[in-house]
Amino acid sequence: MENKLSAKVAIVTGASRGIGKGIALSLGAAGAIVYVTGRTGEGRPASVPLTGTVEETAAEVTKLGGTGIAVRCDHRDDKQTEALFQRVKDEQNHLDVLVNSAWAGYEGLHDGSDFPLDQPYWSRRLSVWDDNLFGVRSAYAAGVLAARIMIEQQHGLIVHISHKITGYGNPAYHIAKTATDRLAAEMAEPLKAHHIAVVALYPGLVRTEGIMKHAEFIDLSNSESPQFTGRAVAALAADHQVLAKSGQALWVSDLAAEYGFTDIDGKIYVPTWKA
């Protein structure tokens, strides 16, 4: 997919680390201009004990052949989010791809405040709800602002990172991800007339910094790199028929088989819980 996205402009939220970073790197490898957003930047300590800054991700994007632009942005703050989209419009005059990856649902696991992992939801702090649902609101706000730009140009792609929900017992997480899928479907329908596609995207078990912090407790034999999800986004962004997928929730592994890409180790990972 090298240079398939040359001159394309993307915003990836929550890209200082994790899946967001992997997406930014893959878009950069495909030649895109990538605005890398997140709360953690130089001189701004992370809210969780994990490595990664927006500047580091942006530098890697550029090293891979794209153009990385770091923007420290707390997507809980609408003014900061609005300023981000105005900056992109002023500097680039268009926006081709928005990826909503910002999410705070695992912060309590990263800093240890939500241990043990198997405690019931009624034993957890009430703010777990806010951490999980933050991602839905930030995706909505960013999606609205992206739509305003994309409608003017009559094309675009919006991707919401989600998860296939199975089982019960974790209402904050499950409702957040169910809502994310619904958000994609709701946004997609009226935007089809403007040639703008909106999808939810399901990764498998991803080897993010947070997952690797607890690697000794997790079976990683069927896990994938963050760039695998990124390659799915890059493939969607390069697909001139992507509008046919609008409103759907898509598996990264299915897109790998369809578009012919692999993970960075040359494999395609199919999650064990995929129905």
φ, ψ dihedrals at 47, nearest 5°: -80, -10
H-type alpha helices, 111-225: 128-153, 171-191, 209-213
Question: Which of 173, 202, 259, 269 does the annotation list as catalytic?
Answer: 173
Residue with tokens 């969607």, as numbered in its chain = 236
With contact defined as beta carbons under 8 Å apart, do 49 and 40 qualify? no
Task: Say if strands 196-202 and 67-72 run parallel, antiparallel, or are unpaired.
Answer: unpaired
Active site residue 106: no
With contact defined as beta carbons under 8 Å apart, do 35 and 23 qualify? no
CA torsion sign for 263, 9, 136, 128 is: positive
Q: How far apart are CA 152 and CA 147, in angstroms?
A: 8
Residues acting as catalytic residues? 173
